[in-house]
Chains A and B, each alone.
Chain A
């Protein structure tokens, strides 16, 4: 067994320094800020970006070599082996689908393709499908019962943030924050968190201070557009198999960014059912409109320092 070096064995403490980097990834801009011991900090941040790039490579809808594209090209009945990371995200997505009675569903890509939010894959499929039509098998394999398309856009960004955070922790970083275009998670030092106002996304609202937690936000202000006289965004309501518009900004605070990311869609589609679902996942939802901030779910005081998110 390999022994890990631990801090108390060092001859003298190494002063913590800060490092900040920002790169365009995951279709957005990703910022990583980390504090830790000097010599290893640069490689820790580089490894965190590499972890995000790996998730992008495996789960991008646009990259034809990704696992998602391979699943979208596979015919019904074919058993397909995918990367363990992709299988992990699929299992989390399918668990969220079960828990939300299908409100979260990664197999709604056809509605996003129909409304030009995603490019059309080559392998067509005829009938609409649900998450139950893609079976998750043991040993990182999957099989369509009825062929469809998946898009992990509603969960993989949060997972990428979690992977980056875990990578930084594994490298002994003391304190860090990863923000992938609004899906963010931090550990160590508490961080103030802001939301964009849905009335004017260039206006910010200070929420409070987040410590050792994640927050993700879904809002239509940058992505919505007109289609057939209606305003639509890249949020699909599986009950209608259609893209919908939502005026408010919906955020979820949770222990992991993947859960926060996926839950924002569920809360946006069914705020009525939010209290029970949030309770179960130890999460908190924040809905912001032009004038009001609506908060639901118990804030976990241990996770928030200074001002608490809920009043």
Chain B
């Protein structure tokens, strides 16, 4: 190590298994009520044509991977759109509220899933996994969620919202 490690305690870590964080924060109806409380929403799903998808990609600079637009029209004006973004290890479903003027009025993450490899350092933990292989995946007793890692960027969500707003202009408005 590059520093005087005298006052530091050192512990080994080892690879053990895979794990996941999967949380559903809202049902679709709950998300609709969170963003448009007390409003009546009507499903108005749209399948984008080639030219619409191209127009959205040009306007937003973001690839359109899914032609199905899960949109609901809000009685008092505006739209509720359920969308998803897929990162390297994470899968996020989120809801965007668009008001009658076309501005974002609400944004809620509906479902978050992230998969991990998993390491432990505790000898007691290690001992229970002796003999386990990758083909014999462990069932962890609880969901992993309190990760103090460096920042996982929300850029892909920001890109998704940009694409949803372009979709609104091209196919919903």
> A residues touching B (Cβ–Cβ < 8 Å)?
20-25, 27-29, 31, 177, 179, 181-184, 186, 191-197, 200-207, 210, 215-223, 249, 251, 271-272, 275, 287-288, 291-296, 307, 310-311
Contact = CB atoms under 8 A, between A and B. Distances in A.
A21 to B, nearest CB: 6
Contacts, number: 161
Given A182-B151, A203-B118, A291 B13 contact: yes
A183 B112 contact: no
Interface residues of B, number: 46
B38 interface: no
B126 to A, nearest CB: 11
B107 A23 contact: yes
A204 B112 contact: no
A27 B10 contact: no
A186 B146 CA distance: 10
Contact of A206 (B25, B122, B158): B122
Contact of B152 (A191, A222, A271): A222
Given A24-B109, A202-B89, A288-B13, A275 B7 contact: yes
A192 B152 CA distance: 19
Interface string B94-137: 10000000000001110010011111111001000000000000
B69 interface: no
Nearest to B157: A24
Contact of B121 (A31, A192, A206, A219): A206
Nearest to A287: B8
B139 to A, nearest CB: 16
Given A22-B112, A23-B108, A288-B13, 7 more contacts: A31-B145, A184-B148, A202-B116, A203-B15, A203-B116, A293-B121, A294-B1
A275 B125 CA distance: 29
B144 interface: yes
Given A296-B9, A307-B122, A21 B152 contact: no
A179 B146 contact: yes
A206 B125 contact: yes
Interchain residue pairs A-B with the least CB separation, the first 6: A196-B149, A203-B117, A24-B154, A219-B150, A181-B151, A22-B109
Interface in B64-79: none
Contacts of A177: 146
Interface in B18-63: 19, 23, 25
A205 B126 CA distance: 12
A75 to B, nearest CB: 33
A197 B145 CA distance: 15
Contact of B146 (A194, A218, A271): A194
A193 B146 contact: yes
Contacts of A210: 146
Contacts of B13: 197, 205, 288, 291-293
A279 to B, nearest CB: 10
B148 A21 contact: no
B7 A296 contact: yes
Given A22-B112, A197-B119, A295 B88 contact: no
27 contacts: A20-B25, A27-B151, A28-B151, A177-B146, A181-B149, A181-B150, A192-B144, A194-B144, A195-B149, A197-B117, A202-B88, A202-B115, A202-B116, A204-B116, A204-B119, A204-B144, A205-B120, A217-B149, A220-B150, A222-B149, A292-B11, A294-B5, A295-B8, A295-B10, A295-B11, A296-B8, A307-B122
